[in-house]
């Protein structure tokens, strides 16, 4: 078992790499470069137009093109922009989440806008405004409908229950299913080509089932999202940890917390034989549920986890995600879940078979790793 001195020593070894255990973040900010690009592994200069998250994950200018195009082409799934490594939201000038006065000072940080060319910037700003609109300006009985193919949007009453939307932007005019976001064919105004119309009607009818399952689909999506993101217990801003220890410092509100059990430092069960957040790690193998390991790879011996921190982090999120999916499956019933998968391939695309969801969610760490959260 690790004693206090050992814990400090282990900590020191990892400190150079650590992003959450203090000092390292300051140390890197003084450096000339931002480290390696997550795409091509080239060194990223600090003064260049790189995309950087608050945990200093960087994407160099030449690699950022693909990332930016993906955001602009699929805003439905990619806004607000997030770090592809840790899922922390990237700095943007317009954001609905935090009041301007409470926002961290962005002047010294790179905002994503800096990396865009003029036409990308125009499109990005349009999309962000729509996003801010959607999250802040719509009332409870209103919903924002966004064209999946261009920046066009409209706000409608929820009670409309609109299955389809037809884009009104002159250079788009596409019709889409508001649930699966796929394009749907449009009928000729005067039904001239009857055979063609019959085929189109058939295609449109397939989307009636989308509308009927839209609430359930949202639940599954929510479970997947909750599995990947672990919110700060104080401010609720989600982030995904990288391969360091389970001690977290929230980059938004500065709270110290435990990634394993999800509790704030003041609520952690601690040994009197040690200090600070480290006291929460003393004697964890015999007191799991109260105390937590400082490194996920320490579970290798007691719980048959991998030896590699990255693989352990993946394991953590697999158990967490499967447990949330199980909650949804229990609520909706397995027949409804199979129908959902048939219509949207939502389980298939998630990388979990129903069998795996059963197995992983009955892992003995499942109840710890979900932090008592329920999929709403």
Residue 238 found at the interface with Zn ion (CB under 5 A): no
Q: Which of residues 20-59 bind Zn ion (CB under 5 A)?
A: 37, 39-40, 53, 55, 57
Report the residue number, 53 or 68, with the smaller CB distance to Zn ion: 53
- Out of 253, 311, 332, 336, which residue is the one contacting Zn ion (CB under 5 A)? 253
Q: Helices marked H in the chain — which ranges?
A: 4-15, 24-29, 61-73, 75-78, 118-132, 194-205, 208-212, 214-228, 299-303, 309-332, 334-344, 346-350, 354-361, 366-369
User: Exposed, middle or buried, 178 (CB in 10 Å: 0-12/13-18/19+)?
Assistant: buried
Any idea how long the chain is? 376
Residue number with CB closer to Zn ion (355 or 372): 372
Q: How far is the CB of 355 from Zn ion (least distance, A)?
A: 27
**Contacts (CB under 5 A) with Zn ion, residues 118-147:** 147
150 is an interface residue for Zn ion by CB under 5 A: yes
Could you give the 3-state DSSP secondary structure of residue 227? helix
Total interface residues for Zn ion by CB under 5 A: 34
Site map (CB under 5 A) of Zn ion, residues 257-276, x = contact: -x-xx---------------
Does the bond joining 80 to the residue before it have cis omega, within 30 degrees of 0? yes
Q: Rounded to whole angstroms, how far apart are CA atoms 9 and 284? A: 18
Per DSSP, what are the bridge partners of residue 177? 164
Tokens representing 285 are 């193998």
Smallest separation, CB 347 to Zn ion (Å):
17
The answer to whether the CB of 259 falls within 8 A of the CB of 105 is no
Tokens of 97: 């989440």
Nearer to Zn ion, 96 or 231 (CB): 231
Region 160-199 residues binding Zn ion, contact defined as CB under 5 A: 167, 169, 172, 177, 179-180
| Rounded Cα–Cα distance for residues 321 and 367 (Å) | 12
Binding of Zn ion at residue 255 (CB under 5 A)?
yes
Nearer to Zn ion, 38 or 357 (CB): 38
**Is the Cβ of residue 10 or residue 253 nearer to Zn ion in the bound state?**
253
For position 152 contacting Zn ion by CB under 5 A, the verdict is yes
Among 2, 34, 71, 232, binds Zn ion (CB under 5 A): 232
The region of 98-106, 197-205, 255-263, 358-366 touching Zn ion under the rule CB under 5 A is: 255-263
**Contacting Zn ion within 60-89 (CB under 5 A):** 60, 63, 83, 85-86
Q: What are phi and psi of 177, to 5 degrees?
A: -80, 125
Q: Which is nearer to Zn ion, 289 or 330 (CB)?
A: 289
Q: Minimum CB separation from Zn ion for residue 70, in Å?
A: 15
Closest CA to 62 of 40, 92, 36, 90: 40
In the bound complex, what is the minimum distance in angstroms from residue 263's beta carbon to Zn ion?
Answer: 6
> Rounded to whole angstroms, how far apart are CA atoms 310 and 17?
13
State whether the Cα torsion 271-241-350-151 is positive or negative. positive
User: Distance from CA of residue 158 to its chain's centroid?
Assistant: 26
Residue 7, interface with Zn ion (CB under 5 A)? Answer: no
CB-based contact 82:228 (threshold 8 Å):
no
CB of 48 to Zn ion, least distance (A): 10
Q: Which residues pair with 33 in a beta bridge?
A: 45
> Which residues bind to Zn ion, rule: CB under 5 A?
37, 39-40, 53, 55, 57, 60, 63, 83, 85-86, 147, 149-150, 152, 167, 169, 172, 177, 179-180, 207, 210, 232, 234-235, 250, 252-253, 255, 258, 260-261, 292
């Amino acid at each position: 078992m690790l004693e206090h001195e050992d814990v400090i020593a282990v900590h020191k070894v990892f400190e150079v790499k650590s992003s959450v255990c203090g000092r390292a973040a300051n140390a890197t900010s003084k450096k000339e470069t931002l480290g390696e690009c997550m795409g091509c592994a080239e060194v990223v200069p600090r003064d260049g137009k790189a995309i950087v998250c608050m945990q200093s994950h960087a994407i160099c200018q030449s690699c950022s093109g693909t990332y930016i195009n993906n955001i602009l082409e699929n805003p439905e799934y990619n806004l607000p922009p997030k770090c592809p490594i840790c899922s922390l939201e990237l700095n943007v000038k317009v954001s609905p989440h935090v009041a301007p006065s409470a926002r961290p000072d962005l002047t010294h940080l790179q905002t994503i806008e800096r990396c865009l060319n003029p036409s990308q910037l125009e499109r990005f700003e349009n999309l962000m405004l729509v996003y801010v609109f959607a999250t802040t300006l719509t009332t409870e009985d209103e919903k924002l409908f966004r064209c999946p193919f261009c920046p066009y949007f409209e706000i409608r009453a929820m009670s409309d229950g609109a299955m389809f939307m037809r884009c009104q932007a002159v250079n788009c005019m596409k019709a889409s299913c508001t649930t699966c976001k796929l394009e749907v064919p449009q009928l000729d105004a005067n039904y001239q080509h009857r055979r063609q119309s019959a085929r189109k009607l058939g295609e449109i009818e397939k989307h009636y089932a989308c509308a009927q399952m839209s609430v359930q689909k949202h639940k599954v999506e929510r479970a997947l999202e909750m599995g990947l993101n672990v919110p700060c217990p104080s401010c609720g801003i989600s982030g995904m940890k990288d391969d360091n220890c389970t001690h977290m410092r929230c980059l938004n509100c500065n709270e110290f917390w435990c990634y394993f059990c999800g509790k704030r430092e003041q609520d952690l069960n601690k040994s009197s034989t040690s200090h600070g957040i480290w006291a929460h790690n003393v004697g964890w193998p015999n007191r799991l549920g109260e105390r937590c390991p400082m490194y996920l790879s320490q579970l290798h011996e007691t719980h048959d986890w991998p030896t590699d921190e990255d693989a352990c982090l993946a394991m953590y999120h697999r158990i967490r995600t499967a447990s949330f999916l199980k909650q949804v499956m229990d609520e909706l019933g397995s027949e409804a879940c199979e129908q959902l998968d048939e219509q949207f391939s939502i389980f298939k695309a998630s990388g979990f078979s129903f069998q795996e969801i059963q197995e992983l969610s009955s892992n003995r760490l499942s109840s710890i790793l979900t932090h008592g959260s329920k999929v709403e």
